Chains A and B, each alone.
Chain A
């Protein structure tokens, strides 16, 4: 029998990058965000039910002039641009001719803070950067997990021993990530994702961006 050629179809591109070193930048970002965890900077029109445990800023974060914000902006948007190059036929010079838009905000979550499953209409790429992972809680591995829902809805309707243990790329379940400080993930904005309740006693801080091009 000839070799069997197996490849993924209908795949979701998923990018990861890490800022190293990240300690100085994250320290500056954390101090700035905590200082601006105020009504003035709170998102005035949240798209989901607001909760006391999670602060969501306005979506204009990357327009702030502070050097730490601009440094993060370069890192995050460069990663998104690289993601586009890696996954499309566009070259760097093609992207340079496009107008690159973003909505960017930060979240500060405290005990039991979470975010329900959602996606981002009218954007093509989304990214999340971890400023502070927050305390890991013994016995609660799901605390603060960023979970990407399987886009192949209904694909798990019939499970038997031959498809119950598929390799990770093909697995019929959500993809979960416990972000660490300095870690960035990039993914298509259509993918539903959620943040499980964070049960640490401190704060979990992330920056999220939605990007679109014209």
Chain B
């Protein structure tokens, strides 16, 4: 007897978008130079990990052309992902006001960005300005690691331990590529894994939310 192939679809899925941003990538060298200069002039906040510099979250307000260009491209990229996964009509989408905060991060060798998520925020974007070569000895060096968020991950047996993507249990890793933007829900706990490389990893992170005309209830960031 022939068995009809079952219909298998992902449900309760987490959207994860990767967007190439050539217009931002064209300014990556200028961004990296600017960020390194600002690291030297802007004091590191007390208590900040010496292996990881994080700027203030006003990056999107900076006037430098490379920042303006990258910031605009990143927000367009976030909007493209939001548009892709939404059922809102285009007219409603375009009527939404975008609120965003952004910062740059320079992860030094042996550094990492600890796990975080963002309250009062809908989407998180991580744009890669510069990345070292992948480590030959450490597969997860410098990856953006999105934590397992599905309930019911505690019990495992042989039939659930090696499932195919997107069903694989456990964390998901994405290796930052210069010029590419990753977009995912800001509620998702994520980190930059320990960097085993000779040169730093430079990222721009944005947290974004969309406000409908007249909408109330979103506290200030």
Contacts and interface: CB of A to CB of B under 8 A. Distances in A.
Contacts of B119: 156-159
The SS class assigned to the B binding surface is loop
B32 to A, nearest CB: 24
Interface of A: 49, 51-52, 111-112, 114, 116-117, 119, 121-122, 139-142, 147, 149, 153-154, 156-160, 174, 189-190, 192, 194, 196-197, 199
A122 B153 contact: no
Contacts of A142: 49, 114
Main secondary structure of the interface of A (DSSP, over half): loop
A116 B140 contact: yes
Contacts of B148: 192
A194 B194 CA distance: 13
B189 A141 contact: no
12 contacts: A112-B194, A116-B171, A119-B153, A119-B154, A139-B47, A142-B49, A149-B189, A157-B120, A157-B187, A192-B147, A197-B111, A197-B112
B154 A121 contact: yes
B89 interface: no
Nearest to A153: B149
B76 interface: no
Interface in B17-63: 47, 49-51
Given A117-B147, A140-B50, A190 B154 contact: yes
Q: How large is the interface on B (under 10, 10 to 19, 20 to 34, 35 or more residues)?
A: 20 to 34
B138 A51 contact: yes
A192 B170 CA distance: 11
Nearest to B137: A52
B219 A160 contact: yes
A117 to B, nearest CB: 6
A117 B117 contact: no
Interface in B109-143: 110-112, 114-115, 117, 119-120, 137-140
Contacts of B111: 197
A118 to B, nearest CB: 8
B189 A153 contact: yes
B13 interface: no
Given A158-B120, A159-B120, A116 B145 contact: yes
A24 B219 CA distance: 55
Interface in B150-180: 153-156, 171
A149 B189 CA distance: 10
A100 B28 CA distance: 57
B208 interface: no
Interface string B196-221: 00000000000000000000000100
Contact of B50 (A139, A149, A153, A156): A139
